[in-house]
Amino acid sequence: MSSPGLLDRIERYFALAPLADARVHSIGALQVPIGRAEWPHPARPRPGFDGDVALDDVRAAIALQEKAGLPASLEWLADRCRGLATVARTAGLVVDELPLLVADDPVEVLLPSEVRLYLVGADDPRLGLYQRLAALAFASPGRAPADQGPRSAPEVAQDDPGPADVPPTEVLRDRVASGATVMMVAVDDGEPVAIGSHQPLQVDGTEISEVVGVATLPRFRGRGLGAGLTSALVEHARQTADLVFLAAGDDDVARVYERAGFARVATSCVAERPPG
């Protein structure tokens, strides 16, 4: 299903996504968004660029990010800028390759009958709890297939998202209020157990949305909550979006999504500073 035009549209989405809450600096072929630490955006090659990115430019981008208190982070399509992985590793970053998929002919994946799914509003008193749930789920090892998302989160020590009155970050509340982030939560017996979002954006006259941050608390994994939640997010996004895509955690997760009607179109590379 991959085509140059499709990848161009996805690159345009990534280029436009930071503009609402970050200032974008140009360093050689790289675009480096500098904004709030609560919602960082990675540096990326400018849309359509498929040449060589200089090591000095990568190092300068990292220095600018870290000076602003942001994580060192670089993302690009592996099908373009093929030598960038070597350059990023030379700059001290760890590179992961994530399958990039689009919702081609989605198959509805039902959640267990006892699980209820809710759209989250900006005034939801448990919005901060949901944000902490996502942090906990991503920090815990042993993720089940289809319970992974493309974004990482800080470590939390226990398998409990904590008190319900934890305030959310201001940027998350603002994004939910504006519709820039559409969040859904899966609830089992009154307890939130899985979370996920899609992020719609107008790109050259049509809407594109990325599904991100689909995660399930460790003790609730293995029940298909991630796949069911992703299916619901795609169904919601496709009501207005012309294109819906996501980056899977690895090839095994990608195969789960392929069985749910997704098609792999490319590989997304993510380069970050190693922990410690």
Q: Does 73 fall in a domain?
A: yes
174 and 131 in one domain? yes
Q: Does 107 fall in a domain?
A: no
| Residue 117 burial by Cβ neighbours in a 10 Å radius (0-12, 13-18, 19+) | middle
Choose the final residue of a domain: 49, 71, 99: 99
54 and 181 in one domain? no
190 and 123 in one domain? yes
Q: Which residues contact 67 (CB under 8 A, 6 or more apart)?
A: none
Query: How far, in Å, CA of 269 to CA of 84, rounded?
Result: 9
243 and 206 in one domain? yes
- What angle in degrees, to the nearest 10, is found between the helix axes of 251-259 and 225-237? 60
Q: Which residues contact 202 (CB under 8 A, 6 or more apart)?
A: none
Question: Strand 73-77 to strand 44-45: parallel, antiparallel, or no bridges (unpaired)?
Answer: unpaired
Contacts of 58-66 with C-beta under 8 Å, sequence gap 24+, read 58/30, 58/84, 58/87, 58/88, 58/91, 58/93, 59/91, 60/27, 60/28, 61/27, 61/30, 61/32, 62/91, 62/92, 62/93, 62/273, 64/25, 64/27, 64/32, 64/34, 65/32, 65/34, 65/40
> What is the end-to-end Cα distance of the chain in Å, rounded?
40
Query: How far, in Å, CA of 224 to CA of 247, rounded?
Result: 18
For the chain, the residue count is 276
Q: Give the residue from 88, 94, 14 showing the smallest Cα distance to 274.
A: 94
Check residue 148 and give its pLDDT. 39
Q: Does 243 fall in a domain?
A: yes
Check residue 135 and give its pLDDT. 87
Q: Does 106 fall in a domain?
A: no
Query: How far, in Å, CA of 219 to CA of 161, rounded?
Result: 12
Query: How far, in Å, CA of 164 to CA of 143, rounded?
Result: 24
Residues of the chain with pLDDT under 70: 1-4, 141-167
144 and 251 in one domain? yes
Q: Which amino acid is located at 149 in the chain?
A: G
Check residue 204 and give its pLDDT. 94
Check residue 1 and give its pLDDT. 52
Q: Does 200 fall in a domain?
A: yes
234 and 135 in one domain? yes
Check residue 110 and give its pLDDT. 86
| Domain limits for position 9 | 4-99
179 and 45 in one domain? no
For residues 101 and 7, the answer to whether their CB atoms sit within 8 Å is: no
86 and 155 in one domain? no
The residue ranges of DSSP E strands in 109-190, in sequence order, are 115-119, 182-188
Helical spans, DSSP H, in the chain: 4-16, 55-67, 84-90, 127-139, 170-178, 225-237, 251-259
Check residue 4 and give its pLDDT. 62
199 and 152 in one domain? yes
Name residue, tokens 């008193």.
Answer: 125
pLDDT tens-digit profile of 187-219?
Answer: 999 999 999 999 999 999 999 999 999 999 998
Check residue 152 and give its pLDDT. 34
Check residue 145 and give its pLDDT. 38
